[in-house]
Every structure is written in structure tokens, then in C-alpha cells.
Amino acid sequence: MRHDRPNKPRPELPFLIGEAESELWSDEAWDAALAQPVEISQPGARKKAGTHGGPQAQDKTHPSAPNPFAPPSPVAEALSRSASESGEARRKPISGRFGKPAFDAGEFRLVARLATGGMSEVWLADALQGELAGQTVVLKRLLPALRADEGSVERFRAEALLGAALRHENLAVTFGLRERGLELFLVQELLGGETLGLLAAAARKRNERLSLAALLHAADGLLAALAFLHGDGGSQAPVRVIHGDVNPDNVVCTFDGGVKLIDFGLAQTLRPDGTVASPDGALRGTPAYMSPEQVKSRPLSARSDLFSAGVVLWELFANRPLFAAESEFETLRRVLNLTAPPLRAVWPHSPTGLERLLVRALAKGPAQRFSTASELRESLRQVARQQAAASGPDALAAEVIRLAPKGVKAER
Ligand SMILES: Nc1ncnc2c1ncn2[C@@H]1O[C@H](COP(=O)(O)OP(=O)(O)O)[C@@H](O)[C@H]1O
Ligand SMILES: [Mg+2]
């Protein structure tokens, strides 16, 4: 049983807390980068391709800064061709193709801001010095407005530390944290691809759905990431954590068919008894994907993530939102009270066995759910086998290439 498994000793973390090289230490530097008229559009990209619609109900609750819209996707179109490119070509900095660099100093050159959330903003940048030199990376920066909030600063540091400690093929690589004075940002691998949320929205917009094979592969990757994080049997994770914010915008599908769970902003370390510390009563998460116990500010176990994953799966297969409503209050009410409609009612072709699996994943009471991500994953694999449904990276890659916009636009 996983709860009996002793915590493994923490290995040396491949973690850099640097400060010397970077000159991104003044707000003016970041503001200046933002002020630059950088239009990121790729040669050959269609005119409208870079505008990211995707208005999913992804409001992430945060006491000081709610995020009412899904962030635009940061897909670098330069990477869209990468599936067939060599690894070396893929690592080449892409800012040159963007024209004038937005900001050029020290360790990183900011290229463009890609997304702003309630807690942080995500930037595309070229690493100019050090081990990462030559790579295009993502910088995730704590919003200046939150610097005075100790809890936010602590959570941001914890996010970076956890990210760097956890290496798995279904997670993004976090290279390190940069901190000086009040400035705080983490450095992460740029994932060339598109979020599951945006892919699903793009398909729906066309009155289509993602292929079953692609969905099964995406679901499998998400559950593999959770099994690793939760410390399911066989997991090599140095710490066991609950992700706390499993939602379609936190799953990036890459152009080569990889599946990466991102955003440890709300992750919490599990205690040996498999729960996390008592909640402080604040509502944190993305309402439409929160578990009932999260909504009620009850202590969480890994099964909370399994419920959120269940919502993601239900939505992917049903090809429509499950709990999302006009108001946050109504969304939360539905999380607590609404039973998911039978899948067959919204998707007549749904594979046998999937219905039962989703009912169990979405049980309001944690005890009625699957006990582990691995168990849920195995059940899903069984459904796939019964269907003789092909699934794999190629099927997902094909969908990313088909549905992902051909360009990326800086946030304005
Ligand atoms: N490493 C990355 N590579 C590519 N895109 C990323 C990466 N990290 C984040 N993003 C994009 O930025 C968005 C916001 O990042 P996230 O870490 O989820 O921050 P938040 O805490 O604001 O939700 C994601 O939904 C995704 O579109
Ligand atoms: Mg997120």
C-alpha cells in the first residue's frame, strides 16, 4: 500500500538559485520589454492564426487576483515544425525570427509575454549565458503586485523547488529559480505544443472532437504524471505531492505527442498519512475542476487530484464542459451537487466501460473513487484494449499539428 511506503531520502536537487548574471532585476526592465512592439508571427504563418480564442471557464481563484479567462497559449510556432526537426535544431534560439529582441541583458533576453494569470506571468526568453545558453526557455514570474504577500512568495518558491525536484517524462523540466530583492522568477523548459484546453476548444469550435486515440494517450500521460507525483507504487519521486490544480490548461500536449502536466503553483507535499496540512480556508484552484473536498476546504488526499482528472476526462470524452457555469458560485455548487450526465447521453459512441470508470472517478466522496492514479490509469487502459483503440504519441501529435495555431502572439 502506498501509504505505508516510507518517504525516500531527498536526493541532491539539480537546482540553481542564481542571481549574479541576470539583469532582469528591475520592474522597468520587464515593463520595457512589454512596451516593445513585438509582434510574434512566423514567416508563412497565416494572418489570423496567432490569435488565441479558447475562452474556457478557467477562472482560477485567488484572493487578490482572479483570472477570468484562460491565458493565451505560448506555443512558439517555430517549434510547430519541430516534430520532424532534429533535437539540435529544436534547441536553437527562436527569437531571431521575431525581429528586434524585446529586451537584451544578462542571462536572459525576454522575447514576449505569453500569458498572465492570477499569480504570475509567463514569458518566452532566450538564455544567453550559462548552462542553458542557446536555448529558448520559459520564465514564470511572480506578479509584482503579490510580492508583499508572504504566502504568495512562499508558494512561488515552493513551486520552483518542487518543479526542479520532480523529473518525469510527463512533467516540464524546471531548471531553477532566480531571485534578487523582490524579483522572483523560475526558469522552465519551453514546451512546444498546445494546452489540452486549447486543443479541445479548437476542436469544438470546428464542431469536431479530438480523436479517441489522441484522447486516450493524453489521459494516459496525465495519469502517469499524477501516479508519479502521488508516489504510487514504483514512483521514483523524491517527494509525494498533490498537484492541486489539475485542469486542461495545465496539461500541455507537445508537437511530438508528449503530454506534460505543468503548474505546481498549488501543489502540496503529502504527509506520511497521505493527507496534506489542514487548509487555511482559502479557496484555491480552478473552480470547474476542483474536488468537492477542495470546495469545502477540507483536508485533501491524492484522490482530490483524481476527481479533477475525472472532470478533465469526462469533458474530453463528452466534448463539452461539465461543471463550468456563468458564475463561480454556481460552478462550485455544481461541483458539490451535480452528478455528471451519463456519457452515452452526450456521446452515443462512447466505449463500453468508460461510463463506469468516469462515475467512479467523479464520486463526490473520496472513499468511493479510485484509490490511486495508477488504478485509474490501468482501468482506462483496459477500456482502450477492449476497444482495440489505437493510442499513442503519433495520434496526439497529429491532433496538435492539426489544431494548434500556426503562430504565437505576444500578449498586449
Ligand atoms: N513550460 C511551458 N512551456 C510552454 N507553455 C507554458 C509553459 N508553462 C506555462 N505555459 C503556458 O502558460 C500558461 C500559464 O502557465 P501556468 O504555469 O499554468 O501558470 P498559472 O499559474 O498562471 O496558471 C499555461 O496554461 C500554458 O499555456
Ligand atoms: Mg496554470
Q: Which residue lies with its CA nearest to atom 5 of ligand 1?
A: 74
Contact predicate 355/318, CB 8 Å: no
The ligand that comes nearest to the alpha carbon of residue 67 is 1
What pLDDT was estimated at residue 38? 47
Ligand 1, residues 199, 262, 266: which to mutate, most atoms within 8 A of Cβ?
262
244 Ramachandran zone, left/alpha/beta (phi>0; psi -120 to 50): left
Q: Whose CA is closest to atom 27 on ligand 1?
A: 73
The grid cell for 317 is 470524452
Whether residue 206 is predicted with pLDDT greater than 90 in this model: the reply is yes
Residue 194 to residues 122, 214, 252, 257: CA-CA distances in angstroms? 14, 13, 5, 10
Model confidence at 63: pLDDT above 80: no
Q: What is the mean pLDDT of the chain?
A: 78
Torsion region of 130: left, alpha or beta (phi above 0 gives left; psi -120 to 50 gives alpha): left
Mean pLDDT of 253-259: 95
Measured in angstroms, how far is the CA atom of residue 347 from the centroid of ligand 2? 28
Enumerate residues lining ligand 1, CB below 6 A: 71, 73-74, 114-115, 117, 119-120, 122, 138, 140, 172, 188-191, 195, 249-250, 252, 262-263, 265
Taking the C-alpha atoms of residue 5 and residue 306, their distance in angstroms, rounded to an integer, is 20
Per 3-state DSSP, the chain is made up of helix, strand and coil in percentages (nearest 5) of 40, 15, 45
The pLDDT tens digits for 77-113 are 322 222 233 333 333 333 323 333 434 446 888 888 8
CA of 344 to the centre of ligand 2 (A): 30
Indicate the residue type of 126.
Answer: D
Backbone phi and psi for residue 183, each to the nearest 5 degrees, phi listed first: -75, 140
**At 385, which amino acid appears?**
R
Question: Do the beta carbons of residue 190 and residue 184 sit within 8 Å?
Answer: no
Label residues 14-44 b or e (16+ Cβ within 10 Å = b).
eeeeeeeebebbeeebbeebbebebebbbee
Q: Full-prediction pTM beyond 0.75?
A: yes
The string of pLDDT tens digits covering residues 264-300 is: 999 999 988 888 877 787 888 999 999 999 999 998 9
In sequence order, the β-bridge partners of residue 254 are 193
- Centre of ligand 1 to C-alpha 383, Å, is 31
pLDDT of residue 365 exceeding 50, the answer is yes
293 Cβ contact list (under 8 Å, min separation 6): 299, 300, 304, 366
Q: How far is CA 380 from the centre of its chain?
A: 21
Atom number of ligand 1 nearest to Cα 191: 3
Which candidate, 279, 309, 304, 266, places its Cα nearest to that of 67? Answer: 266
Q: Domains in the chain, start-ordered, CATH in brackets?
A: 73-189 (3.30.200.20), 193-403 (1.10.510.10)
User: What kind and span of H or E run contains 139?
Assistant: strand 136-142
Per-residue pLDDT for 120 more than 70?
A: yes
Amino acid at 313: L
- Of 8-22, 247-261, 388-402, the one with minimum mean pLDDT is 8-22
Are 62 and 118 within 8 A, CB to CB?
yes
Mean of the pLDDT values across residues 385-395?
83
For 67, other C-beta atoms within 10 Å of its C-beta total: 18
Q: Provide the grid cell at 359.
A: 462515475
